[in-house]
Homo-oligomer: A and B are copies of this chain.
Amino acid sequence: LNYRLLNALEGKNYSGRPPIWLMRQAGRYLPSYMALRQRYSFLDLCHTPELAAEVTLLPLKLFPFDAAILFSDILVVAESFGRGLRFEEEKGPIIERPIKTAQDIEKLPEPNAEESLSFVAEAIKLLLPELSVPLLGFAGAPFTIASYLIEGQSSSSLSKTKEWLVKDPDSFHNLLGKISNLTIDYLKMQAKAGVCAVQIFDSWAHQLAPRHFCEFSLPYIKKIVEGLRDLALPTIVFSRASSLHAEKIAAISPTAISIDWSGNIAEIRKKLPNITLQGNLDPFILYGSKESIEQEVGSLLSAMKDDPRYIFNLGHGILPTTPLDAVHQLCTLVHG
């Protein structure tokens, strides 16, 4: 096994270069993935262990990444609550019966992850013998999952969610609590099936003002991080608000923080010398010329290359139209 990622999570990667993996590395920028999508729907790929395992492996055939991340979607947790989930080509995920009232929240079932999400454990078990790099599991953070359940689809301002949480914070906390419980069980199941570490994605937390971030996002991530502590499973927290709130996230003691593209990771490192940091490259950089990619990646590497607690990644998922050549160049630059 390639231990570079696990070493960086433990703060002792002295190999001379950071490990690299990319959020959504098994995604639409890969022709091999698009070919599979001709034959199967996105949800079929998620729900079928053999296919999820196959997709997880696709990027590793092309690029020397130091980790695999299980192919799945954060919204399989929302699906477990029985509100319906489908994906539309243009719009992305749609929750078919969004949550509209406090009563809807009261009536949510308490699904058993081992039953409703067993297909994920099966995919992990199929993958393990095929891998020479660590396998990461993941889940959405409760705030982000709650937002999808309320908005019903991607939303650029989370109007319904933000209106809800100021009007009726109690029922919103109730929703967050239910999602947290399922998420802890879900990640425990992933750990038992064999993932080496997990990443928690709070993709929408940057929509929250600081007081709301501290009330509605962070405590539930903390609950998950603490719920997993006795498994000795490393946890990585990705939040689009991590540039702004890195110190607050560090205070809940995950193993690592994944930094979005909006801040400067070298400045964050000065404030937080002892925690593993990941990410920060704006995914749009990969649309640039060879020279500009070299300059931008070089600038990030010159700040972080020798840091034993750094994991190279983007500041958000890789974009669907990213040229493969740029990903090759990126890997070459990081591999030094």
Contacts and interface: CB of A to CB of B under 8 A. Distances in A.
Interface of A: 156, 159, 162-163, 166-167, 169, 206, 208-212, 241, 243-244, 261-264, 282, 284-285, 287-289, 292, 296, 299, 315, 319
Contact of A209 (B156, B166, B209, B262): B262
Nearest to A283: B162
Contacts of A315: 209
A138 to B, nearest CB: 22
Number of copies: 2
Contact of A211 (B210, B243, B244, B299): B299
26 contacts: A156-B156, A159-B284, A162-B284, A162-B287, A163-B284, A163-B287, A166-B284, A166-B285, A166-B287, A166-B288, A166-B292, A167-B287, A167-B288, A167-B289, A169-B292, A206-B262, A208-B262, A209-B261, A209-B285, A209-B315, A210-B262, A210-B263, A210-B264, A211-B296, A243-B244, A244-B263
A128 to B, nearest CB: 35
A207 to B, nearest CB: 8
Among A209, A211, A244, A319, max chain B CB count under 10 A is at A209
A30 B209 CA distance: 25
